[in-house]
Structure formats: structure tokens, C-alpha cells
Amino acid sequence: MKDIILDNGRIRAHVNAFGAELRSLEMDGLEYLWQGDPAYYARTSPTLFPIMGRFLSDTYYVKDTAYHMGINGFAMDRNFTVEKAEETCAVMTLRDDERTRAQYPFAFRLEVSYLLDGNRMHISYRADNPGPDPLPFCFGCHTAYRWPLEGSDPNRYYLRFEQKENAASFNPFNWKDGGFVRDGFRQLCHGLFTNYTRSMTDIRSEYVEYGSLDGGHGVRIHRAQFPFLAMWALPDENASFVCLEPSTSVHAGAATTIEDRMGTLVIGPGESCERAFSIELF
């Protein structure tokens, strides 16, 4: 599918209707996003819905009936309908059909919007429930940033939180690192990801910054409406990306229903839910 190109004179972005995926994000001639390599990670920034992570054996239950859904849900592998494609804004939608109901037996309408504003990309999600039953779901974005962004040493990169957080991280298998972030700062290295994805919650900061101690370019992820932040990379310095993933829910433990997953959103018949975050480039 051909990319939709957004350009506000400062940022140039490519968005694709397959998975409503952000494929490129450039400012001042610098590409901020990993461009995908099947040897390491073929994606760039897929939309995660209705789950983030996975169930054990990819199996979960709705009213005692078993359903099978793969890692990070199905939205990233579906063609969305383009509702709007303008110079600085794109809106795409996905609705339930026979294929989605085979693995997720709910009626839904999912809307994903991208908007350029100065040096920011605003990304918003909306779920509508047109069906007769409560709708459980998660919003998430699996964005992979280049690591390093420029020619500097990847071990000089960091995460810096708006506030002086002292926070733990945990992985999907209940392993926990109690001192992952101290005083709102964490220097990065590939060895941090030997134990798979790290997730964090109870974050007070409105944004988290990713950049280099040597200065230059970076990003601030304004994620206040997303209570979880997941981080994933490969413990291999040849895999030059790090995924920073704001989400409303996260995979942890052995939940067997969507409702049992940490942070699951549930809306009733006729209700809607919206969440948004932004990527500020510098």
C-alpha cells in the first residue's frame, strides 16, 4: 500500500493504511524511526489493539469459550480505511468483520489519527462500541527509534523523565528490576534487554526523553494518558533500534481473559474512549 505523506514544513512523515502504521518521521533531514529489517525487527511503529503483548499459548477466554490471538493483537496486520488524508493530518479506521470476530468476538470501530503540529506528531486512538456487550481492549504503539539516532555511541543514550522518578521495571514473566530508573534517569545499553521487554507503570512524568549524553537530536514522548511504558530492544548492538511503547495496558503474568490484564479499558454498549500522546522531536 502506498504511504500517505504528511508535511508541515518542519516534519515530514509517512503513514501507511496497513496497520495504520507510522513508517517514517523526519525533521531537519534526520530520520528518527528505525526503517525495519527482518533480520532483527521488520516493523517500524505498528498500532497495537486490542492487546499489547500476548497470552500464554496465544489463548484466552470469553464466557468460557477459548479464542486464539497472536502477540500484540490483530490491528497491525489489517488494512485500515483511509477516512482523511490531508497535508498535515491522516485519519484511518478499522471495523470488526468475520476475521476479527474469529479471534475477538466483539463489535468495534477503531480510529487512528496522525497530526503534525510544529515539531510534534500527535497520535490519537478512539474506540467505539456499537455492540450489545462490554468491549475490553488496549491502545498501544510499538514505535522503534533509531539507536543511535546519529553517529554517536549507543551506550551514550539515555531515558530522562520529566520528574525525578524512582521506578521499577518488569517483564512479561514477572521478573522485576527494582532500581531500573533512579532520580528520573536511565542510561541505555543493549544488555538491559537480555530479559526481554521491560515495562513500567506508576510514572508521574508527563513525558520521557530519549537522547544522547553527547547532545544532538532526540525525542520527548508525551504519554500522560498512557499509564504504561514498555521498552524493548535486542541484546545485540547490530540491532540499532529501541522500541519505546506507550500503552494503556500491558502483558504481565498468566491472565486468561482480556479483562484480567493490567490496565485493560472497558466501555459499555454505545460508549467511546479516546487516548492520545505526542512525539516531540528536537
**Structure confidence by residue, pLDDT tens digits, 15-68:** 999 999 999 999 999 999 999 999 999 999 999 999 999 998 899 999 999 999
pLDDT at 141: 97
pLDDT tens figures, 73-94? 999 999 999 999 999 999 999 9
**Taking the model in full, what pTM does it have?**
0.95
Domain ranges of the chain: 4-281
Burial bucket for residue 275 (CB in 10 Å: 0-12, 13-18, 19+): buried
For the cut 80, the answer to whether the pLDDT of residue 253 exceeds it is: no
Burial bucket for residue 64 (CB in 10 Å: 0-12, 13-18, 19+): exposed
For the cut 80, the answer to whether the pLDDT of residue 71 exceeds it is: yes
pLDDT tens figures, 161-197? 999 999 999 988 888 999 999 999 999 999 999 988 9
β-bridge mates for residue 123, sequence order? 114, 277
pLDDT tens figures, 201-232? 999 999 999 999 999 999 999 999 999 999 99
Question: Average pLDDT over the chain, rounded to whole?
Answer: 95
pLDDT band at residue 2, thresholds of 50, 70 and 90? confident
For the cut 70, the answer to whether the pLDDT of residue 113 exceeds it is: yes
Kindly report the backbone phi and psi dihedral angles of residue 168, in degrees, each rounded to the nearest multiple of 5, phi listed first. Answer: -90, 160
pLDDT at 95: 98
∠ at Cα 83 (77, 86), nearest 5°? 110
DSSP designation for 149: S
4-281 fold: Beta-galactosidase; Chain A, domain 5 (2.70.98)
pLDDT at 56: 86
pLDDT at 189: 96
For the cut 80, the answer to whether the pLDDT of residue 252 exceeds it is: no
pLDDT band at residue 256, thresholds of 50, 70 and 90? very high
β-bridge mates for residue 280, sequence order? 120, 220
For the cut 90, the answer to whether the pLDDT of residue 1 exceeds it is: no
